[in-house]
Homo-oligomer: A and B are copies of this chain.
Amino acid sequence: VASDTRDRLVRTTSRLLRKQGYGATGLNQVMAEAQAPKGSMYFHFPGGKEQLAAAAVDHFADRVMRRLDRGFEEADSVAEAVATFFHEYIEHFRRTDFAEGCAVATVALDAAAAHEALADATGRALRGWIDRFAEALEAEGRSPAEAHRLATLIVAVIEGTVVLGKGERSTEPFVAVSAVLRDLLTPADALAPAN
């Protein structure tokens, strides 16, 4: 079905962006890896690579958002949800031999400055994640301003640790950073002796 093809094109693009960035990801490779019929690319994405990549960023952002929602549901605190998220990223890096990073980060660094539609997509993704973390932090009693600042830091740390993990081909940065974040995110009253 046509919509299956569109979905395969988007998912394949998202995976390639995570592996090799925007510049290296060409339409021919996407079509081949998605096993998409000839003509389907410009049928679904008349705007070409820019439109396809924007859809892939939106797709990836939604996937991460669902994982965040699940994480907040299962964890007792933002600190615990973030720790679990880092743990899952370590596992993912091990599974993919450090190949798959963040589709939003590569598009933001490589292409957002030159392509308005891609800056819109990466901005939407990043602000969405930050707002989701901020919402969870507010639910723990932080003020809106403090929650926003901390949420921005959390998303920056996640993106930056992916850079470190890929750049060092190591999961050690995730372990180091995760320990600092846990202390930072544990509300002071949770550290007080219970009685």
Q: A: which residues have CB within 8 A of B?
A: 19-25, 97-99, 101-102, 104-114, 119, 122-123, 125-127, 148-150, 152-153, 155-164, 166-170, 173, 176-177, 179-181, 184
Contacts and interface: CB of A to CB of B under 8 A. Distances in A.
A113 B126 contact: no
A149 B177 contact: yes
Contacts of A156: 156-157, 160-161, 163-164, 173, 177
A111 B150 CA distance: 31
28 contacts: A19-B113, A21-B22, A99-B113, A101-B109, A102-B109, A104-B167, A107-B167, A112-B167, A112-B169, A113-B166, A119-B168, A122-B166, A122-B167, A123-B168, A123-B169, A123-B170, A126-B167, A149-B179, A153-B157, A153-B176, A153-B177, A153-B180, A153-B181, A155-B164, A156-B157, A156-B160, A156-B173, A156-B177
A180 B112 contact: no
Contact of A23 (B25, B102, B157, B158): B25
Tell me the number of copies of this protein. 2
Nearest to A121: B167
Given A23-B25, A153-B176, 19 more contacts: A21-B109, A21-B111, A22-B23, A99-B113, A102-B109, A105-B105, A105-B167, A108-B164, A109-B162, A119-B169, A122-B166, A122-B167, A126-B163, A149-B176, A153-B180, A156-B177, A157-B160, A159-B160, A159-B164
A20 B160 contact: no
A121 to B, nearest CB: 9
B106 A21 contact: yes
A162 B123 CA distance: 13
A176 B110 CA distance: 23
Contact of A166 (B19, B25, B112, B179): B112
A97 to B, nearest CB: 7
